[in-house]
Structure 1
Amino acid sequence: MASEKHRDPSGEATFPEINFMTFIMSLNASAMVNLGVLDEPGSQKKDKNLMLGKQTIDILAMLQEKTKGNLSPDEENMLKNILYDLRIIYVKEKS
C-alpha cells in the first residue's frame, strides 16, 4: 500500500486519519509485502517471508474473531475479503 501523504496549510506532510479500515489496510499491505506480492517499501525488490505473512494473516483472523458483532457491514466485508485473498495467496506461495 503506497503511503499517501497530504500537506497541511504550512506545507508539512500529514497522513490520513487512522481508523479501523486504514489499520486493516496497513496490515494487509504488510502481509502482501511478506508474501512477496508487493515490493519492499523503499526498494524495487520483493522479499518473501512466509512466516511473517502467515503471522499477519493470523493477527487479522484474531481481529475478525474479537470484533465480531462490533463492525460496520463495510468493515466486516473488507476484513472477510482481505483474509480470503491473503489465505489464497499464502497457500499458492507456500506450495
Structure 2
Amino acid sequence: MHHSKYPIGHIIGLILSLVLTFLAMIVALHTNLPRNVIMWFIGILAFLQAGLQLFMFMHITEGENGKVNVANIIYSIIIALVVVYGTIWVIHY
C-alpha cells in the first residue's frame, strides 16, 4: 500500500463533501420544490455524503488485500444511529 505525504484523497473528500452540503443548501433555500421533495433530496445527498466519508476518511477499503473493513462499517453505523436518534430524542423531549 502506498502512502504519500500529501493527503490528496482527504482533500478530494473534503471538497466533494462541501459540494454535496452546498448543493443541499441551495436546493433547500433557493428552490420552490415541495417540502417533501426537498427532504428526499437532502436525505439522498446525506446518504451519498455518508458513503463518501466512509471511503475517503474512514479508510474502509484499507483492510487486508483491499478488503472492506467490517469493523469500520459497524462503528460508523453505530455512531450514525446514535447521532440521528439522539438528535430526534433531544428535539422531541
TM-score, with structure 1 as normaliser: 0.36
- Structure with more helix by fraction: 2
Task: Look at both structures and tell me which one has the larger radius of gyration over its CA atoms.
Answer: 2
- Structure with more strand by fraction: 1
TM-score, with structure 2 as normaliser: 0.36
